[in-house]
Each structure stands twice: as C-alpha cells, then as structure tokens.
C-alpha cells in the first residue's frame, strides 16, 4: 500500500503540496470537492479496483507557517482492492473516527513530518505501521448495503467506527468508482446523496440519527472513461449514417419527381 503526505513548509515559497506527488486517484475523482479539507475529514473510496483512505486536517502540534498559522497535514493510503488492504484501511479509519484514538493517530503523523529547507517538508518517520493498528480488532461480517447519512457528531462517528470494525465494506454494483465513506465539516446533504456515498456525515446535516436515503440513478458509479467513449462514438456514427441515408433518400425522391413526364 502506498502512502502520500500533503503538508507545507514554513516559508511563503513552500505552500501546500503532496509527497511524493498528488495521487491520481484523488485528482481524477475530484475527491477534494466532496469535503472541507482544512478541517478533519475522512474519505474511503473504491475507484478502478483501488482502495483509497484520505484523512485531512491533521493539525501539527508545533509546526506553523510564516504567518504563525498551524500547519495541517493530510495523508492518503492507496492500494489494490484486496482483503488485507481493506482491513488496514478500516482499522485506521475506525481509529481516526474515535475521539480517544484520533489524538494518537495525529501525534504519530505529526512526529513523522518535519520541515525541510529544499522542498518545505519531508517525511522522516515510518507511518506504514501505526500503533492504532494494534489496538483495534477487525471482523468481517457482511456489510449493510443501505445508504445512510447524518450529522457529524460523536455518537454517529462512534457508530460508524464500530461498523467499520465489525463489517466489510460493501462490494458489487453500486459500490464501485465512488466514495463509500465521507466524514467532513461543512458539506450539504445534496452533495453527499448525489455522489452516492454509502455512509456520509457532515456538520451541515441536522439529524443526529442515521437517515437512510434511496440512491438516485444519476449517482450510480461511472464506468471508466475508456468504456464510455466507445458507445458514445458508436451512437454518433449511427446518427451520421442515418442523416446521410436520409439525405440520399430525399435526393432520390426529388430526382424521380423531376424526371416524371409532365
């Protein structure tokens, strides 16, 4: 599983950036448009047979920029859609959702990211194995496939953490190429339901109990771009052929009409 870090350096020239680079899975699927990234947010997604866990808004304890603003780190874990990788993502996500474990996670990541004169920051510590992974026990009961949203409050975060600990992520039609879990600050309910999220929590939602919603056909997962281009081009070709044949037919009718003896 690959790990990517987003942070910044002290100077104005060393703004926020990703190391080693911005993951394509985040850019191509516009994940940042679904969350308020400057505060604690969490996304689990399945895209093109890859699993993504993104955690943002991880505040540094001591590092600040040139304007004395606290630096906020983001971490992305990306790997193949395998059982081992899913379990790792579920463990880290469950820890991040629990208030009593989030500080441990924040501290480990904070200690691993330090200032660097050349590129602004660098990762000095090893975060490939976090201590919170030893605390949580994962089970693999079948996941509930109902879609639910609610307010980003401790009660629902704890319930979501427990669900991730006990149950596998849903798979199959309806759960590919989309975010499965979103926990964020300010984000409207419509955005969460439009993207077809399986579990969504936002400060903008008022209900402190889970609310089921029916996934709209418009929010079904998209096919890879290569699969979308072929039928589109085929339909275009058929439409052009239809226009050409119609034009030929009209010309033949006019010709026959004009060639009739008066």
- What pLDDT does residue 105 have? 95
Whether the CB-CB separation of 2 and 79 falls below 8 Å is answered with: yes
The structure's pTM equals 0.82
List Cβ neighbours of 190 (8 Å cut-off, separation of 6 or more): none
What's the N-to-C CA distance of the chain in angstroms? 83
What is the full DSSP assignment across 114-166? EEETTTEEEE-S--SS-GGGGTPPP--BPPP--EEEEE--HHHHHHHHHHHHH
- What pLDDT does residue 221 have? 52
- What pLDDT does residue 239 have? 72
List Cβ neighbours of 48 (8 Å cut-off, separation of 6 or more): 25, 177, 224
- What pLDDT does residue 228 have? 36
Q: Domain-by-domain residue ranges, the chain? A: 2-218, 223-262
- H-state helical runs in the chain: 24-28, 83-97, 99-112, 154-166, 189-194, 225-259
Over the chain (262 residues), the average pLDDT of each successive run of 10 is 97 97 96 97 97 98 96 98 97 96 95 96 92 92 95 98 97 92 97 96 98 79 40 62 80 70 56
Edge to edge, what strands does the sheet with 178-184 contain?
17-19, 2-7, 70-80, 50-64, 41-47, 178-184, 199-202, 147-151, 211-213
SS3 217: helix
Pairwise CA distance, residues 213 & 118, whole Å: 49
Nearest alpha carbon to residue 89 among 76, 103, 105: 76
Whether the CB-CB separation of 202 and 195 falls below 8 Å is answered with: no
Pairwise CA distance, residues 190 & 45, whole Å: 18
- What pLDDT does residue 250 have? 80
Verify cis geometry, omega within 30 degrees of 0, for the bond prior to 134: no
Nearest alpha carbon to residue 75 among 4, 11, 7, 27: 4
Phi, psi of 167 (to 5 degrees): -125, 145
Per the listing, tokens 């929590």 go with: 201
Pairwise CA distance, residues 130 & 109, whole Å: 9
Ramachandran area for residue 48 (φ above 0: left; ψ -120 to 50: alpha; else beta): left
Whether the CB-CB separation of 150 and 208 falls below 8 Å is answered with: yes
């Amino acid at each position: 599983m690959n790990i990517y870090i987003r942070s910044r350096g002290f100077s104005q020239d060393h703004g926020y950036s990703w190391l080693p680079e911005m993951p394509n899975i985040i850019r191509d699927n516009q994940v940042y448009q679904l969350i308020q990234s400057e505060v604690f947010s969490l996304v689990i997604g399945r895209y093109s047979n890859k699993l993504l866990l993104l955690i943002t808004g991880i505040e540094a304890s001591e590092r600040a920029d040139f304007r004395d603003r606290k630096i906020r780190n983001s971490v992305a874990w990306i790997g193949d859609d395998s059982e081992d990788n899913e379990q790792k993502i579920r463990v880290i996500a469950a820890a991040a959702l629990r208030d009593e474990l989030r500080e441990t996670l924040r501290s480990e990541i904070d200690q691993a990211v330090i200032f660097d004169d050349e590129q602004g920051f660098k990762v000095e510590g090893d975060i490939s194995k976090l201590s919170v992974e030893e605390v949580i026990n994962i089970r693999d009961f079948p996941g509930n496939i109902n879609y639910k949203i609610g307010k980003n409050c401790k009660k629902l975060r704890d319930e979501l953490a427990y669900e991730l600990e006990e149950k596998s992520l849903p798979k199959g039609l309806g759960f590919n190429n989309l975010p499965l879990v979103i926990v964020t600050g300010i984000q409207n309910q419509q955005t969460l339901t439009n993207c077809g999220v399986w579990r969504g929590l936002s400060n903008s939602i008022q209900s402190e109990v889970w609310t089921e919603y029916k996934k709209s056909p418009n929010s079904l997962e998209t096919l890879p771009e290569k699969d979308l281009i072929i039928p589109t081009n085929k339909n275009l070709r058929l439409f052009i052929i239809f226009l050409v044949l119609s034009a030929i037919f009209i010309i033949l009718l006019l010709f026959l009409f004009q060639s009739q003896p008066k």
